[in-house]
Amino acid sequence: MLITIVNGLTMASLLFIIAVGLNLSFALLRVANLAHGAFYLFGGYVGLSTMNYTDSWILAILVGGLVTGVLAFLLEFFLLRKVRGDNLRETLVTLSVAFILADLMIVIWGGNPRSIAYPEMLQGPVHLGGIVVPKLSVFIFIFAVVIGVLLWLLLNKTKIGMVIRAGVDDFEMVSALGTNIRFVFTAMFVVAGFLAGIVGVIGGSHLMMSPGDDWRILTYALLIIILGGMGSFGGSVIAALIMGFIYSFGSLYFPEFQLFLMFAPVALVLIFRPKGLFGRGLA
């Protein structure tokens, strides 16, 4: 039971980091970035290559995040800006990029499952009050908490955060007041890509990486956004915890109904609270 709870928290931590970036960019840009899952897997593979060449896990995380952030910038600057305001074309552009990246990753890294080696200091268990927990799981949880706190401070305690929250509520008015909302759009999109890249490396160490993981992770991230509410930081936290525990306990006790258990609460939320559990803005 305890290890299942630990696995649920670990999965929730990974899902939170990747979903919160997508959620914020989704709320601000009003476009479903269907390439976000491909960013996750691409960052993981870049981290794998970096790890093989440098034998540095920290460098692999940084390079995976930075390269993916650059990729997100190129997508937003050269493609999405050309179709800004046309939701259908924006979605189709990101979908096309997702398919292109998926094929490129197979060509470059092959189709076999891969895993990223992580430092010896994170291997083995740690004893927390009589509970034996894998060190990597502790690191992932702490890392997610740090990212969550930093994002919360950014959104609630800085002028940039004020602009972001105002842009979520009424981006036309923010633009009319003289704020360079286009720069804010690009910055949030790049941050979302950076977060997806670093989670790809960490997730590739905790889990295996293989073709198809991009769509699986994208599905989980979208479920979290729908469940928690678009643009809601707190909603992303709660929804990630719900999905993480459903994934962990469902895989152990009801593997044949795992997808049903993950989609059922989302379906109920769509019926009774179409904006999500906390879909009233960034809070």
What residue ranges define each of the domains in the chain, with the CATH number in brackets?
2-272 (1.10.3470)
The stretch 40-60 carries a mean pLDDT of 97
Q: Pick the more confident residue, 235 or 1.
A: 235
pLDDT at 169: 65
At a CB cut-off of 8 Å and minimum separation 6, what does 192 contact? Answer: 21, 22, 24, 25, 33, 36, 39, 72
Q: How many CA atoms within 13 Å lie on the side-chain side of 111?
A: 2
Above pLDDT 70, what percent of the chain?
94
Residues 32, 24: Cα–Cα separation, whole Å: 11
Element (H, E) at 132: strand 131-134
Question: Please, what is the average pLDDT of the chain?
Answer: 89
The stretch 142-167 carries a mean pLDDT of 86
The stretch 9-32 carries a mean pLDDT of 85
pLDDT exceeds cutoff 80 at 168: no
The stretch 45-68 carries a mean pLDDT of 97
The stretch 35-60 carries a mean pLDDT of 97
Three-state SS for 126?
A: strand
pLDDT exceeds cutoff 50 at 190: yes
Q: Confidence class of residue 282 from pLDDT cuts 50, 70 and 90? A: very low
pLDDT at 184: 80
Q: How many CA atoms within 13 Å lie on the side-chain side of 102?
A: 19
The stretch 160-181 carries a mean pLDDT of 72
Does this model's pTM top 0.95?
A: no
Start-to-end Cα distance in the chain: 32
Residues 275, 231: Cα–Cα separation, whole Å: 10
The stretch 187-205 carries a mean pLDDT of 94
> Which of 57-61, 82-86, 264-268 is the least confident region?
82-86
pLDDT exceeds cutoff 50 at 36: yes
The stretch 62-89 carries a mean pLDDT of 92
pLDDT at 280: 56
Q: Confidence class of residue 163 from pLDDT cuts 50, 70 and 90? A: confident
Quote the DSSP letter at residue 209: B
Structure tokens at 152: 């919360």
At a CB cut-off of 8 Å and minimum separation 6, what does 95 contact? Answer: 34, 35
pLDDT exceeds cutoff 70 at 246: yes
The stretch 6-25 carries a mean pLDDT of 90
Is residue 28 a contact partner of residue 171, using CB atoms and an 8 Å limit?
yes
Above pLDDT 90, what percent of the chain?
59
Q: What angle do CA 220, 221, 225 make, to 5 degrees?
A: 115
